[in-house]
Amino acid sequence: MILWALLAALGLGGVITGSPTVTAPPDAASHTHAETVEESKNSERVKGISAKPAVVGTVEETIEVVMELGELNPNHYPAQRAAKVVEHYLNTQHGSPYKVFTLHRVLSASAEDVPDSGRKYQLKLSVQESVHHQTIEECLAEVLFPTGESHAPPQVQVSSCEDLLKINVTVQEENLYQQYKRNDSHLFAQNLPDSYGHMEPEHVPFWHLGIVVSSFVMLSESTQDTLYNMAQVANVSQLATEDNLLKFDYDVLLHERVSQEIFAWKMLVTWSPSDGVKVLKMEKKDYTVKNLKITLL
Ligand SMILES: *[C@@H]1O[C@H](CO)[C@@H](O)[C@H](O)[C@H]1NC(C)=O
Ligand SMILES: *[C@@H]1O[C@H](CO)[C@@H](O)[C@H](O)[C@H]1NC(C)=O
Ligand SMILES: *[C@@H]1O[C@H](CO)[C@@H](O)[C@H](O)[C@H]1NC(C)=O
């Protein structure tokens, strides 16, 4: 069940079909069983969505105007994209192999342009802690996408979801840490999850950690025109260290849902229960995904 919930939380279902400007609200209930992202399809997709209100068809084929300023429809892309950034932010601040935050639902959203600053979103959203997936809490958040060419990452502030952050995973973290700290046969794993949606139970914490480290990239790469999910941990290997930290080399595949592109990133990270997750290095890889098949259980 945990696995299922987490795979569903990847948000890879609900394939966006039809014209390139179709908006499909991410909906946990509408996951398809498999999604094949092929390179040939990518070229037909339009990158981003125009800043003007656009006429779009939803999955139900109704025609609606997507508002991009003022009160927003919580299910439309502008609100969803801003809320997704909150998920990435929470993971960078509080994530661990036993704590992974996932956007559950956008409850309300509004956007305004702040002169010389950027576009600011006020959001009320519910967030799920996916490892203990019965835990869902409402949070208030503010996301500012800075203007300008510098491509500065969005600035995020979150309040009022303290209970979610207080989930106590001390015992699990300590067990994992002890196991891999004293273990000479260092962790090495590939394809978490594999194309059948499967992974070994002992690899699950490193898949979670992969989502958390990916959030560092996804937070810094996010703009108003992106919706990132971690698709797969392609490789993870543990490296020897002199200090008290566990050190990992991750190759992750990130799925950008608006363009339907897959990006590969290499990350060098450390983790320990007391120090949390630290990213030492992140580097975009020159990598072409030919035919990645991700199966949702
Ligand atoms: C978390 O749980 C552990 C073990 O049950 C306990 O020792 C510790 O004080 C708890 N931490 C917090 C912050 O509640
Ligand atoms: C060391 O790691 C291997 C592979 O993950 C595992 O099978 C083994 O049980 C671990 N040993 C200890 C002492 O934790
Ligand atoms: C994973 O590692 C293999 C080599 O073991 C490499 O060929 C592949 O490119 C890596 N995957 C990614 C996404 O970097």
pTM beyond 0.75: yes
Nearest residue to 290 (alpha-carbon basis) of 51, 93, 39? 39
- Tell me if 166 CB under 6 Å of ligand 1: no
Residues 280 and 226 sit within 8 Å (Cβ to Cβ): no
Ligand 2 centre and the CA of 177: distance in Å?
12
Per-residue pLDDT, 237: 97
Mutate to test the pocket of ligand 1, among 94, 165, 166, 168 (most ligand atoms within 8 A of CB): 168
Neighbour count for residue 177 (Cβ, 10 Å): 18
DSSP-derived 3-state class of residue 84? helix
Residue 67 in tokens: 């508002």
> Does the beta carbon of 168 lie inside 6 Å of ligand 1?
yes
Give 216-254 pLDDT, tens digit per residue. Answer: 999 999 999 999 999 999 999 999 988 999 999 999 999
Q: Which tens digits make up the pLDDT trace of 79-109?
A: 999 999 999 999 999 999 999 999 999 999 9
Strands (E), 20-159: 34-38, 55-57, 63-65, 70-72, 101-114, 118-129, 135-146, 155-159
State the distance from the centre of ligand 2 to the C-alpha of 183, rounded, in angstroms: 6
* Cα 228–chain centre separation: 5
Instruction: Report how far residue 105's alpha carbon sits from residue 83's, in angstroms, rounded to the nearest whole number.
Output: 9
Task: Show the tokens assigned to 291.
Answer: 């035919």
Ligand 3 binding residues, C-beta < 6 A: 234-235, 251, 253, 264, 285, 287
Domains delineated in the chain: 2-49+61-296 (3.10.450.10)
Tell me the ligand closest to 233's alpha carbon.
3
What is the number of the ligand 2 atom nearest to the C-alpha of 183? 1
The SS3 of residue 165 is: helix
> Which structure tokens are listed for 236?
């993870």
Name which of 224, 234, 210 is nearest 95 in CA terms: 210
Amino acid at 193: P
> CB within 8 A of 61, min separation 6: which ones?
none
Query: To test the ligand 2 pocket, which listed residue (175, 176, 179) has its Cβ within 8 A of the most ligand atoms?
Result: 179
Ligand nearest the Cα atom of residue 287: 3
Question: Quick check: helix, strand or coil at residue 163?
Answer: helix
Residue of 190, 192, 235 best suited for mutating to test ligand 3, as the one with most atoms within 8 Å of CB: 235
Each residue of 197-219: pLDDT tens digit? 899 999 999 999 999 999 999 99
Whole-angstrom distance, CA of residue 32 vs CA of residue 162: 33
Give the distance (Å) from ligand 1 centre to CA of residue 290.
46
185 CB less than 6 Å from ligand 2?
Answer: yes
The 10s digit of each residue's pLDDT in 139-196 is 999 999 998 777 789 999 999 888 888 899 999 999 999 999 987 678 999 999 998 8
Residue-wise pLDDT tens digits, 23-41: 333 433 333 333 333 333 3
Q: Are 233 and 206 in contact (CB under 8 A)?
A: yes
**In contact, 151 and 141? CB cutoff 8 Å:** no
**Ligand 1 atom, smallest distance to 171 CA:** 4
Mean of per-residue pLDDT scores for the chain: 80
